[in-house]
Structure 1
Amino acid sequence: MLAYRHAFHAGNHADVLKHATLVAVLNHMNQKDKTWRLVDTHAGAGGYALQAPQSQKLAEHQQGVVRVLEGKRLPPLLADYVAQIRAGNPPGELQFYPGSPRITRGMMRPQDQLRLFELHPTDHALLAQAFEGDRQVAVAKEDGFNGLKGQLPPSSRRGVLLIDPSYEIKTDYAQVVSACRDALARFAECVILVWYPQLTLRESAQLPQRLKAVAKEQAKKGWLHARLTVAQPDERGYGMQGSGMFVINPPHTLKPLLGEALPVLVKLLGQFDGAASQLEMAHGL
């Protein structure tokens, strides 16, 4: 459970889809002055130096964020994402990839709140150091699946929950579903962002359907499911082919933004002729 380090994968195609979606949601949240709180259940180290040995070992950012930064005439969702990446780097350079905590912090107003959970001792130490003394951010060395119970609903009744475990253990899939169900029971209006990997596993294939069932029963504003396939499985049928974002109670602005951006991501990030995207949505109660 504590073996996964996101530093080896920072800025890959999955991060692009996840963080571009996150930026779009937070832009929507910022349209109203009222305070919002974001809870990140698996925050990682917060950000990643791309010249570090971990990032260089696989250099997955070369097939992800680098390709997007090189894109021309990007649609608004990707242009906004690129703006957040560039804000944390020297002009014209890419030295650092901001994880979801850094991206979120860069988009917060003085009234907003960020709650971060991370169990890995090394990543937690880096995360705590990055936000030391920041009164708007709380960092906990705790299982985020358990920790979110004390964070929802916020007093403002405006909140975002980001759930993106490593899924290295299969029980993560069931815990994601359980966490969504519990969060909605506490806070039916909560915007929930679930990232998941596209793998040749039954659990991966079934997760969107299980989340649809939860959202249909409990969510006031329905769900949105975006999926990006960029690669083929290896000769043994393994490997991450892409990833998906399942959004419960999605902002009404999200579907058109993703609808314009996903075909562009297929062209920029696709590694084989069968690269594709999928976008579906259902309205709520």
Structure 2
Amino acid sequence: MNYRHAFHAGNHADVLKHVVLLALCDALTAKPSPCFALDTHGGRGLYKLDGEAAQKTGEAQDGIARLQAEAPRDPAVQRYLAAVRACRAQHGAHAYPGSPWLLAHALREQDRIAACELHPEEANVLRGHFTGDARMAMHARDGYAAIKALLPPKQGATKFARGLVLIDPPYEAQLDEFDIALAALKEGLARWPQGMFALWYPIKQGRALQPFRRAAGKLPAKSALLLELLVRPDDSPLRMNGSGMLLLNPPWQFDAAMRPALDAIRAALGEPGASARVEWLRAPA
């Protein structure tokens, strides 16, 4: 419970996660029917990069700041940069959007969003950011438990056939968190098999994640796609060298859109030895 995302907001992992998140939202809103999004670990939803926490680590300088300076022309990256500009136009020049803000920005009036945060202080801040937004429901609760409680999603007589679950835990439990997340994904798929699920994860040493990748490929999803970005070689177990997104039931041809996006981010943010990976663990039929 000591984790605060404010120390890491806008870093290379946020860049990857938020580029992918917006692309998933755009795929959902391409169809007129309403959709539902669940953010299991919402944090405070909005951050200040000139605040003490962000300034202490300086991680955003090698993330969003560098990407803005490089301004890759890839459409998915440009979409993300436009969302950051929209956030700053509303909240100030040093604002950075968390995933709940991006969901609220990208989804529509007919859509619904649930954001969970267990830490009381962070949950109160999250709730305050979205007061008055009828689409948003904030839950001061464990996000994994919310998967069981809130899926399949419905509101009154409305049942949502389409939507997204974002799981972005702090990984305070280290490698044990992967087992917890995989169990939550299995539960979510059983309750809402047509939903899209996105799990973010850190990468220190890639070979340590092989058991996770094998287990992810066995989940009962129609398809499973792995997106990974390393900003440096993964030869140090003492720091986060990159991050990844496991996508279950992603949109049609999503891999084709993400390959150039990850290459663009790697070129903009990567040190020597940086790499990007787009791989189907289970290709769509």
Asked if TM exceeds 0.5, the reply is yes
SS in 1 for 2:70: coil
Q: 1:6 and 2:5 equivalent?
A: yes
Aligned CA distance change for structure 1 residues 198 and 205 (closer, same or farther; 3 Å):
farther
For 2:124, give the aligned amino acid: A
For 1:191, give the aligned amino acid: M
Aligned-pair CA distance for 1:72: 3.9
**Distance of 2:234 and 2:192 partners within structure 1:** 38
Q: What percentage of aligned pairs have identical amino acids?
A: 35
**Distance of 1:159 and 1:97 partners within structure 2:** 24
Give unpaired runs (5+ residues) of structure 1: none
Render the CA deviation track for 1:171-230: whole Å, top value 9, x for unaligned. Answer: 32111000110111111111001100002387644322211111xxx212x011111011
Render the CA deviation track for 1:99-151: whole Å, top value 9, x for unaligned. Answer: 00001101121110110110112211100111123221111111100012122
Render the CA deviation track for 1:208-259: whole Å, top value 9, x for unaligned. Answer: 2211111xxx212x0111110112468x741101000110001014211111
Aligned-pair RMSD on alpha carbons? 1.8
CA contact (8 A) 1:119 1:142 kept: yes
**Distance of 1:99 and 1:23 partners within structure 2:** 12
Aligned-pair CA distance for 1:67: 1.4
Q: 1:160 and 2:164 equivalent?
A: yes
CA contact (8 A) 1:198 1:205 kept: no
CA contact (8 A) 1:223 1:250 kept: yes
For 1:48, give the aligned amino acid: Y
For 1:123, give the aligned amino acid: E
Aligned CA distance change for structure 1 residues 219 and 27 (closer, same or farther; 3 Å):
same
Alignment partner, residue 186 of structure 1: 191
CA contact (8 A) 1:198 1:244 kept: yes
**Distance of 1:121 and 1:198 partners within structure 2:** 28
CA contact (8 A) 1:231 1:240 kept: no
Aligned-pair CA distance for 1:153: 1.7
CA contact (8 A) 1:161 1:193 kept: yes
Aligned length: 277
CA contact (8 A) 1:266 1:276 kept: yes
Q: 1:210 and 2:215 equivalent?
A: yes
Aligned CA distance change for structure 1 residues 208 and 233 (closer, same or farther; 3 Å):
closer
Aligned CA distance change for structure 1 residues 12 and 205 (closer, same or farther; 3 Å):
farther
**Distance of 1:213 and 1:3 partners within structure 2:** 33
Alignment partner, residue 275 of structure 2: 276
Give unpaired runs (5+ residues) of structure 2: 154-158
For 1:187, give the aligned amino acid: W
For 1:238, give the aligned amino acid: L
With 186-195 and 150-159 compared, the bigger mean Cα shift is at: 150-159
Aligned CA distance change for structure 1 residues 199 and 73 (closer, same or farther; 3 Å):
closer
CA contact (8 A) 2:206 2:234 kept: no
List aligned pairs for 1:211-230, cutoff 5 A. Answer: 211-214=216-219, 218-220=220-222, 222-230=223-231
Per the normalisation by structure 1, the TM-score is: 0.92
List aligned pairs for 1:128-207, cutoff 5 A. Answer: 128-154=127-153, 155-170=159-174, 171-200=176-205, 204-207=209-212
**Distance of 1:202 and 1:140 partners within structure 2:** 36
For 1:69, give the aligned amino acid: Q
Alignment partner, residue 55 of structure 2: 56
